[in-house]
Chains A and B, each alone.
Chain A
C-alpha cells in the first residue's frame, strides 16, 4: 500500500491552529483588565450560557436529539450546590463532583425513558420535564421555595476568594476554553464520528458497529454535565438562586442561542450565546424607545429574529460568517500518515460455506413479503439477487442484514444462526453492507465517513478522545480509512465533503465504508440504481477489483445487464419467492425470468 502518496500537505490550517490557543489564552488573560466591569460581567454570563449551549450543540446540532430541558439540569446543579452550601456549609469544591454525579444520574434515568423513542418525543418530554422541575424547585420548602436561597458561599481558589467579576471571568472562560477543546477533540475522534453518524440514522450507524443507544445516552449525559458545570458556577457567582432562571423559558432560550449561532458548530454555541445575551441587554434600552412603553416585547423581536434566521440562514450564523471570512475558506487538508494496520478477522478459505438462507419467511400482517427463500453463498463467490421491483429483494436483504427479524426459517452465517440478531451483531460476525438510498454524512469528509466503518475494530473511549489520548488509535483508523478509499479508487476526493460528490461516487464511498468494517461478506443494496452509464462503469470496475481480491459479495439489483458480467451466480426472486437460480447465462435464457422481467416474450 502506497498510502504516503495520498498525502497532500497543507500550509494554512496547521499554522492557524498553532496560533489559536495562545491567542485565546492571551485574550482570556487580558480582556478583563481592559474592559469595563459591566462588560466583564456580561462576558461571564455569556460564558455560562456558552457551556450549556456547547452541550446542546453536541446533543441537538450534532447528535440530532432536541432538548428543552437543559435549564433544568443547570438548576439541579445550582440548587444542589446552593442547598448543601447554605444548609450544611459544604465547600463548593465538594459540591461540584456531587452536582455532576447527581445531574449525570438524572440525565441517565431521563435517557432511559426517552431515548428509545423516535424524534419528537424527546423535545416534548423535555418540555414537560422543564416545566415540572421549575414548579418542583418553587414548592420544595428546603430549597427556599419560590423565594429562593440566598447567602451561598463564594468560591475560593488557592486561598483567594473570587469576588470581582474579572476573577470570575478568568475561571469561567478557562473552563469554557477547556470545554471547547475537549469537545473539538471529541468530535475529531472515533467516538465523535459515531456521534456525528447518529444523524445519518440508526440503521446506518448500527450497521457500522456503532452502539447508537450508548452514544445517545453518552451525549445526553455529557450535555447535562456541561449544563451542571454552568449551574454550579452560576450559583456561586450569583450567590443567590431561585426558580426563574431554570424555567422552561430559559431552556427554550438556550435552544434559540444555538439555532441563531449555528446548531452544528461548537463555535456556533459561543456565537449564539454572545449574540442573544448582548441583544437582550441592548433591547432593554432600545425597545421602550420603539414601542413607547415597556412590555415583554423582547419576545416579538426574538420570535421574529429566529424566524428570519430559520428562513434565511437555516444552519445559523456561524457557517454564514465562515463563508464571509476569506481565510476561513482555505480548508486545511490534514496529512494521513502511515500507521500500524488494524487487526483483521481470519479469512475463510475459498469455497467454504458462508451464508445459508433456509426457508426464510417474512410476513407483514397478512402480506407475505418473502416466502420461504433458500440460497447459499460460499467464500469468494459473487452472487446476484435479482428481481423486478416489489419482488421482495429489499426485504430479503433486510433479513440478512438484521434490520428485520425473520418470521420463520433460518439464516446462518458460517454455521451460526443470525436471523434474530440485531444489525450490530451481524456486522461483528463479518457482514458489511451499503444502502440503496445513500446514507453518508454529507458535511463530513469522505475520509471521516469511511472511518466510521472502522468503528468497531478499535476501542477508544469518550474520555480518552477528549483528553487526546487517542492519537495513535486515531492514526490507525484514519490510515485504514485512507487505505480503503484508495482501494476503491477515490484517493483524490478523500478530503472533500461527502455531500459534494456525485451519486456514483457516493455509492463507492459507501462500499469503502463497508470495506472498512473488515467484512467477510459484502452486501450491496442496488448499487447501480439511479446511476448514469459512466458511473455504472466505474462501479463495475470497483466490484471487479474486489472480485480479484477474493471478496465474497451479495448484490441485490434489478438491473440485469449490470450484474450479468459481474456475478458468478444469480438468484432471481418474484412475488417473494425464488424464481430461478443458476449461472448468468442460464438465467438470461430462462423463460420464466424473461417472463417476469419483460412481461412475456413474443
Chain B
C-alpha cells in the first residue's frame, strides 16, 4: 500500500510540478507489466525508496512502465528526455527494452543505468554505450560459480533447457563458449515457454543423453516446471539454475522436488548469514533493512537491489556533478555521466562496483556466489 501511495504522490507531484525546474529529474523505465512484470515491480519499489533530496537539490522521480515492449520503452525514453528533461534515466528491466533505449539516450546525451543483465548493453564502450551503465550481474557472473562447482565435482556431460525468449537465449549464448573453454560437452539445447504446460518432450530428450548435470536457463516460478519433470522422470543428477530462479515462486511451486539444486545467489536476495568478510556486507544490510521495512519481511530480492544501487550511484555522482552544472542542462547530464564513470570500489547492495572509461559493467565477479536449496532455503555453498 505504501508503495502505491508513494508512487501516486510522485506522479501527482510530477504532474503538478512542470514549471518548477531546478530539481534533479530521475526518469525511470521499468517493465511493470507484461512478461517481465514480476521483475519490474520490485525494481520500481526500490526506486520509490530513493532519497527525495541529494546535496540540497530536490529529486523528482518519473516512473514509466514499458510493458516489456521495446516500442513503448523507446517512447518512454523520448518522453523522459524531451518532456521531462530527465537528467538520468534508470532502467529498463529487460535486455531488449534496454537495448532499444540506448540510441535515444546517446542522441540526447543522457546517462542511463540499466537493470538488465546482458554484457552487450555496456560493452564495448563505444560512442553510444559510453552513456550506458549497469547494476545487474551478467550471465557470465552467474555462470562462473556454477561452472566452478561442476568442474570441482567432476561433471563432463551437460544438458541445457531454458526459456524460449531473450532471457534463455542470452544465458545459453554466454554459457556455450564458457562450457567449451572449460572442456564440458553440451549435449542438448532445449527450449520451453514460460506459460508452457508440459516439458515432457524436452526432459525426455535430455534424459536420453545421460547428462552428468542439467543447466536451466529460466527464472522464477516457470523455472520449476523442468526441475519437477526431471525429478519425476527419475533424473538424479545435479541441476544448476539461473540466478532468476532464486527469485519469486520457484521454491513454492517446485516444493520438495527442488531440494538440492544449485543456483548462483546474490547476498542482497538471500536470507542467510554471510561471512563478515563479505566486502559489501554493510551495503546489503542497509538495503535489506530499508526494503523490508517498506515491503515486508522476506521481500528482499536482487532486482530491487540493482535498482537500489542505481540510485546509490546517482547519489555518489550527483554532488560532484552539481558543482559543475545545473540540473536540467546538457552539461549536468554530461558531468553526471563522467562522474559515474569515475566510481570505483563503491560497495552497493549487489556487490562492489568498478567503473572505468573502458568498463561500464561495473560489478566485479565476486558479486554472486554458489547457493544450494536446502530445506526450502538458499544456502551459500562453501
With A150-B102, A244-B70 as given contacts, are A288 and B4 in contact (CB-CB < 8 Å)?
yes
Instruction: Report the minimum CB–CB distance from B63 to chain A (whole Å).
Output: 8
Contact of B82 among A36, A239, A280 (CB under 8 A): A36
Q: Is the interface of B mostly helix, strand, loop or mixed?
A: helix
A145 touches B75 (CB 8 A): no
In the complex, A139→B192 CA distance in Å?
12
Instruction: Report the minimum CB–CB distance from B89 to chain A (whole Å).
Output: 14
With A37-B83, A38-B83, A146-B169 as given contacts, are A296 and B99 in contact (CB-CB < 8 Å)?
no
B52 at the interface (CB under 8 A from A): no
B78 touches A37 (CB 8 A): yes
Residues of A within 8 A of B37 (CB): 294-296
Contact of B165 among A138, A241, A297, A298 (CB under 8 A): A138
**Interface-central residue, A146, A239, A245, by most chain B CB under 10 Å:** A146
Instruction: Report the minimum CB–CB distance from B210 to chain A (whole Å).
Output: 26
A390 at the interface (CB under 8 A from B): no
B33 at the interface (CB under 8 A from A): yes
Residues of A within 8 A of B168 (CB): 146
Q: Tell me how many residues of B have a C-beta within 8 Å of chain A.
A: 45
**Interface-central residue, B40, B68, B69, B75, by most chain A CB under 10 Å:** B75
B64 touches A147 (CB 8 A): no
Contact of A146 among B40, B41, B165 (CB under 8 A): B165
B8 touches A294 (CB 8 A): no
Instruction: Report the minimum CB–CB distance from B109 to chain A (whole Å).
Output: 13
In the complex, A170→B95 CA distance in Å?
31
In the complex, A163→B100 CA distance in Å?
15
B373 at the interface (CB under 8 A from A): no
Residues of A within 8 A of B75 (CB): 41-42, 45, 281
For A1-37 the 0/1 string (1 means CB < 8 A from B) is 0000000000000000000000000000000000011
With A150-B99, A294-B44 as given contacts, are A244 and B11 in contact (CB-CB < 8 Å)?
no
Contact of B107 among A38, A163, A281 (CB under 8 A): A163
B204 at the interface (CB under 8 A from A): no
Instruction: Report the minimum CB–CB distance from A134 to chain B (whole Å).
Output: 11
A238 touches B74 (CB 8 A): yes
Residues of A within 8 A of B33 (CB): 294-298
For B56-74 the 0/1 string (1 means CB < 8 A from A) is 0000000011011111101
In the complex, A242→B72 CA distance in Å?
13
Residues of A within 8 A of B68 (CB): 244
B231 at the interface (CB under 8 A from A): no
B313 at the interface (CB under 8 A from A): no
Residues of B within 8 A of A150 (CB): 99-100, 102
B7 at the interface (CB under 8 A from A): yes
B318 at the interface (CB under 8 A from A): no
Instruction: Report the minimum CB–CB distance from B67 to chain A (whole Å).
Output: 7
Residues of B within 8 A of A298 (CB): 33, 67
B242 at the interface (CB under 8 A from A): no
A302 at the interface (CB under 8 A from B): no
A147 touches B170 (CB 8 A): yes
Contact of A288 among B7, B67, B170 (CB under 8 A): B7
Q: How large is the interface on A (under 10, 10 to 19, 20 to 34, 35 or more residues)?
A: 35 or more
A148 touches B11 (CB 8 A): no
Residues of B within 8 A of A239 (CB): 103
Interface residues in B158-203 (C-beta closer than 8 Å to A): 164-170, 191
In the complex, A150→B102 CA distance in Å?
10
A242 touches B11 (CB 8 A): no
In the complex, A245→B96 CA distance in Å?
11
In the complex, A203→B336 CA distance in Å?
70
For A258-287 the 0/1 string (1 means CB < 8 A from B) is 000000000000000000000011001100
B345 at the interface (CB under 8 A from A): no
B298 at the interface (CB under 8 A from A): no
Instruction: Report the minimum CB–CB distance from B120 to chain A (whole Å).
Output: 8
A240 at the interface (CB under 8 A from B): yes
Contact of A165 among B7, B67, B71, B78 (CB under 8 A): B78
Instruction: Report the minimum CB–CB distance from B116 to chain A (whole Å).
Output: 11
With A244-B96, A293-B3, A295-B33 as given contacts, are A41 and B78 in contact (CB-CB < 8 Å)?
yes
Residue of A nearest to B84 (CB): A38
B95 touches A238 (CB 8 A): no
For B117-151 the 0/1 string (1 means CB < 8 A from A) is 01010000000000000000000000000000000
Residue of A nearest to B118 (CB): A147
Contact of A41 among B1, B82, B118, B167 (CB under 8 A): B82
Contact of B99 among A45, A145, A147, A165 (CB under 8 A): A147
A292 touches B1 (CB 8 A): yes
In the complex, A42→B78 CA distance in Å?
9
Residue of B nearest to A295 (CB): B33
B4 touches A293 (CB 8 A): yes
For A126-162 the 0/1 string (1 means CB < 8 A from B) is 0000000001001100000111101000000000000
Interface residues in B1-33 (C-beta closer than 8 Å to A): 1, 3-4, 7-8, 11, 15, 32-33
In the complex, A37→B41 CA distance in Å?
28
Interface residues in A386-401 (C-beta closer than 8 Å to B): none
A344 at the interface (CB under 8 A from B): no
A289 touches B11 (CB 8 A): yes
B252 at the interface (CB under 8 A from A): no
B70 touches A37 (CB 8 A): no
Residues of B within 8 A of A296 (CB): 33-34, 37, 67
Q: List 28 A-B contacts (CB under 8 A).
A: A41-B78, A45-B71, A139-B191, A146-B165, A147-B120, A147-B166, A147-B170, A148-B70, A148-B96, A148-B100, A238-B100, A241-B70, A242-B96, A244-B70, A244-B71, A245-B70, A280-B72, A288-B4, A289-B8, A289-B11, A292-B1, A292-B8, A294-B32, A294-B40, A295-B37, A296-B33, A296-B34, A298-B33
B interface list, Cβ under 8 A from A: 1, 3-4, 7-8, 11, 15, 32-34, 37, 40-41, 44, 64-65, 67-72, 74-75, 78-79, 82-83, 95-96, 99-100, 102-103, 107, 118, 120, 164-170, 191
5 closest pairs, A vs B, by CB? Answer: A37-B82, A294-B32, A146-B166, A292-B4, A38-B83
- Beyond A146-B167, A148-B70, A242-B96, 14 additional contacts (C-beta under 8 Å) are A36-B83, A38-B83, A45-B75, A147-B99, A148-B96, A238-B74, A238-B100, A240-B74, A240-B103, A242-B100, A245-B70, A281-B75, A288-B7, A294-B37
